[in-house]
């Protein structure tokens, strides 16, 4: 099943790399502009569950990497063995200077909270997202806190270290 | 009832009643709340010590802060604490509220909880065992006896400093001050 799906993806799209890092995993590395088309294709191929969107900050290469992890609900059925339960990881690189990507809400509606979270923690803007409002954080940060150039220790010293204790003042 | 304590009961009935009926607010933060269900149910049975969970802050007078406090949770903690009727007692639970614990360099976690609300006692550990909660409760009894569990009095006294720290951490607070500056007790030194 892995092999046939791999050939199917490779024959449909150009400019992408398909690897099988281990059994029951497929890693697709694609260009930014073709991500939505690949997601649509994979959804039609039966991978109808977007399990996760995550981001990685490759600060030395100057890229953010977005990972979409797709599975299928049908694979939870009894007739599927463990080796047949397939996860597809779709990776794409976004330049760090211009962190923008098109939203995947049109294909997977449950992408909304993931994209809000990534927007908040990494500062990646998702075009077409209806509400990129704060989700988890309480305050504004100059640099989004999950980026590698965010200095947590300095931030903690500046913000929480400067708050005086109350009882020892007496 | 212990006969030796009869004089104590007659002398300070309100304090004794307070001691043996602590109502702990259901407030879950962090990982320590996983210790609370066995504590209040049959396995360890906190009711032996008079500790019983209360549904709302207005019915409770014991506040267990059971783990790390994120900035967002601090807002809820302050609002809950200010709603509780006096006398009220706060116990920080685990190493995270004490000094940040393993989140000491986290961008979104409060390091020293006693800068924002007064704390009467700490339970060290990560996580404390249920037995440690009972040791803390018995210590709290001693403190109540000696009038050293006076967090709510300290809160009233130092309210301006606490409120200033809360605003430093949370930005502008959307609720009015609990105590006005004129209400601050002057000669009520405890």
Determine whether the interchain pair A152/B115 forms a contact, defined as Cβ–Cβ distance below 8 Å: no
Residue A28 lies in a domain: yes
pLDDT on residue B183: 55
Task: Please report, for the domain that includes residue A33, its CATH number.
Answer: 3.30.460.80
Residue B90 lies in a domain: yes
Residue B174 lies in a domain: no
From the list A156, A166, A167, the residue facing B107 with the nearest CB is: A156
Burial of A2 (0-12, 13-18, 19+ CB in 10 A): middle
Determine whether the interchain pair A167/B71 forms a contact, defined as Cβ–Cβ distance below 8 Å: no
Largest Cα separation within chain A, whole Å, is: 75
DSSP assignment letter at B129:
P
Name the residue range of residue A99's domain.
Answer: 2-138
Look at residues A87, A65, A70, A92 and name the one whose alpha carbon lies nearest to residue A20.
A87
Q: What is the mean pLDDT of residues B177-185?
A: 70
Q: Could you tell me the pLDDT band of residue A170, with boundaries at 50, 70 and 90?
A: very low
Q: What is the mean pLDDT of residues B124-136?
A: 89
Residue A57 lies in a domain: yes
Is pLDDT above 50 for B189?
no
From the list B71, B110, B165, the residue facing A139 with the nearest CB is: B71
Residue of A142, A163, A168, A169 to mutate for B, most B C-beta atoms under 10 A: A163
B87 and B18 Cβ atoms separated by less than 8 Å:
yes
Q: With pLDDT > 90 as the criterion, what percentage of chain B qualifies?
A: 34
B182 and B159 Cβ atoms separated by less than 8 Å:
no
**CB of B189 less than 8 A from some CB of A:** no
pLDDT on residue A1: 64
Residue A159 lies in a domain: no
Q: Which residues of A touch B119 (CB under 8 A)?
A: none
**CB of A63 less than 8 A from some CB of B:** no
Instruction: Quickly list DSSP for A38-78.
Output: HHHHHHHTT--EEEEEEEEEETTTTEEEEEEEEE-GGGGST
Q: Is the dihedral of CA B145, B148, B149, B153 positive or negative?
A: positive
Alpha-helix runs per DSSP H in B69-147: 71-83, 95-99, 130-145
Note the pLDDT tens digit of each residue in B76-118.
999 999 999 988 999 998 899 988 888 888 888 988 898 999 9
Residue A151 lies in a domain: no
- Number of domains chain B contains: 1
Residue B73 lies in a domain: yes
pLDDT on residue A167: 75
A155 and A149 Cβ atoms separated by less than 8 Å:
no
Chain centroid to Cα A137, Å, comes to: 18
Note the pLDDT tens digit of each residue in A30-84.
998 889 999 999 998 888 899 999 999 999 999 999 999 998 887 777 777 766 7
Burial of B178 (0-12, 13-18, 19+ CB in 10 A): middle
Averaged confidence pLDDT in chain A? 87
Task: Please report, for the domain that includes residue B108, its CATH number.
Answer: 3.40.50.12280
Determine whether the interchain pair B169/A162 forms a contact, defined as Cβ–Cβ distance below 8 Å: no
A1 and A86 Cβ atoms separated by less than 8 Å:
yes
From the list A137, A152, A166, the residue facing B165 with the nearest CB is: A166
Q: What is the mean pLDDT of residues B171-184?
A: 79
pLDDT on residue B58: 93
Structure tokens at B5: 């304590």
- Rounded CA separation A85/A83 (Å): 6
Q: With pLDDT > 90 as the criterion, what percentage of chain A qualifies?
A: 45
pLDDT on residue B1: 61
**Buried b / exposed e along A21-51 (16+ C-beta atoms within 10 A):** eeeeebbbebeeeebeebbeebbeeebebbe
Name the residue range of residue B29's domain.
Answer: 21-153
- Which of A 127-146 lie inside 8 A of B, CB atoms? 136-139, 141, 145
Q: Which residue has the higher pLDDT, B188 or B59?
A: B59
pLDDT on residue B9: 81
Residue B46 lies in a domain: yes
Residue B7 lies in a domain: no
- Number of domains chain A contains: 1
Is pLDDT above 80 for B158?
yes
- Whole-angstrom Cα Rg for chain B: 17
């Amino acid at each position: 099943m892995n092999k046939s799906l791999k050939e199917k993806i490779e024959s449909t799209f150009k400019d992408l790399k398909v690897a099988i890092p281990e059994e029951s995993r497929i890693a697709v590395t694609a260009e930014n502009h073709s991500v939505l088309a690949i997601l649509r294709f994979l959804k039609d191929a039966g991978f109808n569950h977007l399990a996760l969107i995550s981001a990685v900050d490759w600060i030395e290469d100057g890229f953010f990497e977005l990972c979409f992890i797709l599975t299928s609900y049908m694979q939870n059925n009894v007739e599927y063995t463990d080796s047949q339960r397939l996860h597809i990881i779709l990776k794409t690189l976004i330049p760090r200077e211009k962190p923008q990507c098109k939203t995947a809400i049109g294909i997977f509606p449950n992408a909304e909270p993931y994209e809000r979270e990534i927007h908040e923690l990494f500062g990646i803007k998702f075009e077409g997202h209806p509400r990129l409002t704060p989700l988890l954080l309480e305050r504004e940060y100059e640099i989004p806190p999950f980026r590698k150039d965010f200095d947590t220790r300095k931030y903690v010293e500046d913000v929480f270290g400067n708050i005086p204790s109350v009882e020892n003042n007496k | 009832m212990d006969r030796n304590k009869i004089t104590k009961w007659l002398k300070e009935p309100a304090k004794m009643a307070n001691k043996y009926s602590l109502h702990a607010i259901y407030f879950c933060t962090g990982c320590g709340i996983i210790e609370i269900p066995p504590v209040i149910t049959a396995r360890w049975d906190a009711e032996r010590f008079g500790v019983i969970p209360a549904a709302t802050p207005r019915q409770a007078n014991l506040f267990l802060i059971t783990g790390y406090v994120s900035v967002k949770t601090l807002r809820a903690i302050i609002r809950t604490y200010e709603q509780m009727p006096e006398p009220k007692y706060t116990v920080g639970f685990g190493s995270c509220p004490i000094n940040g614990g393993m989140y000491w360099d986290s961008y979104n976690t409060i390091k020293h909880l006693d800068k924002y609300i007064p704390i009467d006692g700490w339970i060290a550990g990560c996580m404390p065992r249920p037995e440690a909660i009972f040791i803390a409760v018995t210590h709290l009894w001693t403190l109540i006896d000696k009038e050293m569990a006076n967090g709510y009095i300290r809160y009233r006294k130092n309210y301006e400093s606490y409120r200033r720290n809360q605003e430093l951490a949370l930005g502008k607070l959307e609720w009015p001050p609990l105590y006005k500056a004129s209400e601050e007790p002057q000669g009520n030194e405890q």
